[in-house]
Structure formats: structure tokens, C-alpha cells
Amino acid sequence: MSVNVGDLDAIAAEIRQRISVAADQLALEQLRIEALGKKGRLTAALRSVGALPPEQRAAAGARANALKTEVETLLTERARQLQTARLETLGDREWVDVSVVPGAVRRGHLHPLTLVLREVKAIFSRLGYEVALGPQLEDEFHNFEALNIPAEHPARDTMDSFYVEGQRWLLRTHTSPVQIRYMQSHKPPIRIIAPGAVYRRDATDPSHGSQFYQFEGLVVDHDIRLSDLKGTIEYFARSLFGADRRIRIAGDHFPFTEPSIGAAVSCGLCGGKGCRSCKAGWLEILGAGMVHPQVLRNGGIDPAHYSGFAFGAGLDRLAMLRYNVSDLRLFLENDVRFLRQF
């Protein structure tokens, strides 16, 4: 490429004009690259000076260098102008209102069953209990035999179960097998609660589902008595439902406890007078009893030296009572209109 002083002047005039009307820093940067970049027009002109006849070289070189310096100066000045203009109008164009209160961010929250389970865990941890977990797929020994429920026992009918192939394994029908597993692997004193999902082949209705949540409690030590169990239930129920609640203990029957009891708490809606949501003022909350000596033996513990109590409750049921929910299925449908209320 050949260049003469006239070409340089034409290029310079055009660039000068465009710099004067450049609207922002980005446009200026593009102009700088176009004129002075590696492949820029002034850069190319400077490079071609060497190819000029010797008598023209000095003058063209000096002219091109002067133009380069001029363009650099113009770019800097225009940038400063634009910056000043921006700062002068900044207050009008780029303000933020620091007093604006934005709409609340909608956050998720814990499921009501999780909330109740956390309360239950907190109550029992104050009494020194630990949380123990067990498998949801159980063998028949831990789910039935070890808990005094032999093959012909009527309880096996009421607990119609989900068996997996081969009829040896089933989805646990209660959390009680965790008692056996824990006794087999730990020495007394034992003080645990075992929460988790359990499964039964029940038809689904407002108070039954094929999957629900239980928690189991087990205490084994020297000289554990029924009065210890009663005090524990009382402390638990009053912690969960309120200090004014009364407890009713009645006889019951379970294969794995002897004697067995059922515990009810006075209805919070009617104060115990009797209403539509309770049975004559009482709400059943759990089944319990003194651990059957044979169940202790099945867990590897000698009933001559140790005694214990156990209790089991439906977590869903406690949540229904705690939050006055009338239908168990609501906990599993995950309808946000329901869940948002907790």
C-alpha cells in the first residue's frame, strides 16, 4: 500500500469527525481500534511510510506520527467529555430508590410431618433418648417372630403386608423391628426413639393409607417400671400438645408388651367435654407397654436382670392432632395450598 500526505489527511479528517460525535465509551474504543489498532488505518499508513521514495519519507513519517498523537489526544478528550456529561446527569438517570421495600421472597419450608418429627425428637432428646434407624425392607423374623407375632398369630392378618418375591422379605409394617435390631447390637441402658416410614395394605381412607410414619420408643435398664412409662407419656404429650392436657391410660393388648396400655390425651378443641373430633373428650395418641420378657430375650437381653418399656405412635396421627388436620391423605398429596399453612 502506498500512502501520501493527502491520504493521511483524508483519513485523519474522517476519524476526527467521528470522534467528535461518538456517543459513548464503547464507540470510542471501536474508533481507537479502527485507527490505531494492529490492523488500524493510521497504523497501516505509518507502516507504509518505509516504502516511500526517500525524499518523501521523512515528511510523511512526521505527518503520520503527528496524526497518531492527535487522534490519541482526541480520543482521550472525548472520553473525558462523555464521562463528565454522564456524571452531571447521573442523578437524574441512574438513581436507585433505597427506601423501596421489595415484595417478600417466597421461600419453601418444612413439611408438617417433618416439623412434628423435629418436635418429637427434641422432646425425647431432652430425656436423653437417641435416634435409631432401621431398614424399611425387613425380614419376617424382625418384623414378626422376634416381636411375638408367630405365623399363625391373628396380628399378621390385620397387618396385611407388602411382601417382596419369595415371601421372606416385606416392607416393614411397623417401626418395632428397630427395637430388636437395636437390642441385638447394644447393651443396656437403652433409650431410643426410632422414627420412619411403615407400610400396610390398607385401603386408603381419611385416617388410613398404605404408607405412613411411625415412631417407636424403647427404654431398657434395671428396674424400669410402668410408672416410668406413664411419666414419660405424660411429659411427651404435654410437651407436644400443651401443659394443660390430661392423660388417660387404659389397658390394651399388643403381642410384644405385657402389660400393654393405650394412651389418650384430652381433646384440645372441647377441653375434654366431648366433640365431633374426639371420642368423649379423648384422643388416642399411642400404644405402649412393658417389653415382653421373650422380646427382650429375642433381642439378646436377660429379662431376669433388665426390664423395659416401649411405645409406638403414628407420626401422621400426632400431626393431625397437633395441627387439627382432619384428613391423613393431605400430608402425602403435596398440595402447596395445604402445605403453605404450616
Residues making contact with Zn ion (CB under 5 A): 267, 269-270, 275, 278
Question: Which residues, 6+ apart, have CB-to-CB distance to 99 below 8 Å?
Answer: none
At closest approach, how far in Å is the CB of 120 from Zn ion?
22
At closest approach, how far in Å is the CB of 161 from Zn ion?
34
At closest approach, how far in Å is the CB of 267 from Zn ion?
3
Question: For residue 342, which amino acid is it?
Answer: F
Considering the complex, state which of residue 186 and residue 248 has its C-beta at the smaller distance from Zn ion. Answer: 248
Considering the complex, state which of residue 52 and residue 270 has its C-beta at the smaller distance from Zn ion. Answer: 270
Q: What stretches of the chain adopt beta strand conformation (E)?
A: 130-131, 137-139, 169-171, 190-199, 211-221, 247-254, 257-266, 282-291, 307-314
Closest-approach residue to Zn ion (CB): 267
At closest approach, how far in Å is the CB of 323 from Zn ion?
15
Considering the complex, state which of residue 31 and residue 267 has its C-beta at the smaller distance from Zn ion. Answer: 267
Q: What stretches of 113-222 adopt beta strand conformation (E)?
A: 130-131, 137-139, 169-171, 190-199, 211-221
Residue 214, CA distances (Å) to 15, 38, 97, 128, 235 in order: 81, 75, 52, 20, 19
Question: For residue 26, which amino acid is it?
Answer: L
Considering the complex, state which of residue 3 and residue 278 has its C-beta at the smaller distance from Zn ion. Answer: 278
* Pair 175, 194: CB distance under 8 Å: yes
Helix (H, G, I), strand (E, B) or coil at 282: strand
Q: Is the dihedral of CA 214, 330, 156, 228 positive or negative?
A: positive
Considering the complex, state which of residue 18 and residue 246 has its C-beta at the smaller distance from Zn ion. Answer: 246
At closest approach, how far in Å is the CB of 193 from Zn ion?
27
Considering the complex, state which of residue 259 and residue 274 has its C-beta at the smaller distance from Zn ion. Answer: 274
At closest approach, how far in Å is the CB of 271 from Zn ion?
8
> Distance between CA 158 and CA 260 in Å, rounded?
18
Q: What is the DSSP letter of 302?
A: -
* Pair 198, 211: CB distance under 8 Å: yes
Considering the complex, state which of residue 267 and residue 285 has its C-beta at the smaller distance from Zn ion. Answer: 267
At closest approach, how far in Å is the CB of 264 from Zn ion?
11
> Distance between CA 263 and CA 265 in Å, rounded?
7
